[in-house]
Amino acid sequence: MNKYSFPPFKSDIIDAIESHKKAIIVGHISPDGDCFNSQLSMQYLLKYLGYEQVILANAGPFERSEAIAIQDKFTTVITPEMLQDDPLFVMVDCGELSRIGSLADTLKDKSFLVLDHHPTSLNFHLGPSYIFPTSVSSTLIVEKLFEHFQVPINEEMANRLFFGFATDTGFFNYIPKGNGEAIRMAATLVEKGADPRIAFARMNGGKSRDFIKNTALLINRTEYVVDGHVALSYFKKDDGSECPSDSYYSQMFKCDDTKGIVLLKETKDGKIILGLRASYDCDFDMSAFAQHFGGGGHKKAAGAAITVSLDKALEMVKKYLEETFVCH
């Protein structure tokens, strides 16, 4: 078995799923395609297994165009009534309470079944966990659960599972050499009804004029730091509701010398969201960067949230980069 082969699920995970009939599934703030599709797919799986109620909870905000379309399927608050009858608490695409935002206040004393692919989640122990960092998406972990429980994957689920895979791999751009397993699993989803053309269109289309304008705004604000190797920009809370982070990353990595990207996003509630990216040929660890600021993620893609002013956040980020950034 190579490092990309999914290990079997341990008995505590299977027992947790089989011993409940009600669940609350949470995901990280500012959900992306992998997060919300992992939540939706897990809801389908648990209902197929006979669960009487499966609640989807996410603190939001639902900013991406593809997330806005499904936000009415999620609750942003968890009421006392939802906590009755011993629900199974499931956390997908993250493994830290800090990553679920305001929901953490209600769930801080709960044990979770964690399904994630971020290596920083290995530092937390919230309950039975399946954390497999070499999986390119959390939806592929959920796909393995479908396989384990022999739950048929219909066309809707195939598209949801594939979309999570597509977003987290940048439509196959971030799959490392040797990981044929990920492509084989994606091929299975296509055979079951996933349409790559639809996934690509959803990832890259459906954007408003403000989205395009704000991409230009971020590019024009870009400052190059650490000898020009890191592109740094920011999005103010008054700039609008659509921060085109993925579009910005894509455009900036077209520059030859860009090895890292840092995007700061100011939120209405006074937080600064850090988006961190490293190029495939740069060995700087963005997950360590994120952890330094209380966040987490992958070596190439990570994030964090801090409660300081935008000016202070820019100062802190520049200082950290100047002291630590090395790209071989």
Answer yes or no: is 3 within a domain: no
Phi, psi for residue 70 in degrees, rounded to 5: -120, 10
- pLDDT tens across the length of the chain (328 residues): 689 999 999 999 999 999 999 999 999 998 999 999 999 999 999 999 999 999 999 999 898 888 989 999 999 999 999 999 999 999 999 999 989 999 999 999 999 999 999 988 888 889 999 999 999 999 999 999 999 999 999 999 999 999 999 999 989 988 999 999 999 999 999 999 999 999 999 888 878 889 899 999 999 999 999 999 999 999 999 998 788 998 999 999 998 889 999 999 998 888 899 999 999 889 899 999 999 998 888 889 999 989 999 999 999 999 999 999 988 7
Q: Among residues 202, 236, 261, which one ends one of the domains?
A: 202
> What is the residue range of 137's domain?
11-202
Q: Are residues 254 and 113 in the same domain?
A: no
Position 327 scores a pLDDT of: 83
When divided into structural domains, the chain yields a total of: 2
Q: Are residues 129 and 108 in the same domain?
A: yes
Q: Are residues 143 and 96 in the same domain?
A: yes
Position 1 scores a pLDDT of: 63
Q: Are residues 64 and 194 in the same domain?
A: yes
Q: Are residues 196 and 248 in the same domain?
A: no
Position 103 scores a pLDDT of: 96
Q: Are residues 171 and 193 in the same domain?
A: yes
The CA dihedral of 130, 174, 167, 41, to the nearest 10 degrees, is -30
- Residue 40's nearest CA partner among 183, 186, 138 is 138
Position 296 scores a pLDDT of: 86
The pTM score is 0.86
Q: Are residues 191 and 237 in the same domain?
A: no
Q: Are residues 18 and 102 in the same domain?
A: yes
Task: Give the CATH number for residue 62.
Answer: 3.90.1640.10
CB neighbours of residue 273 within 10 Å: 21
Q: Is the backbone peptide bond immediately before 196 cis, with ω within 30 degrees of 0?
A: no
Q: Are residues 133 and 171 in the same domain?
A: yes
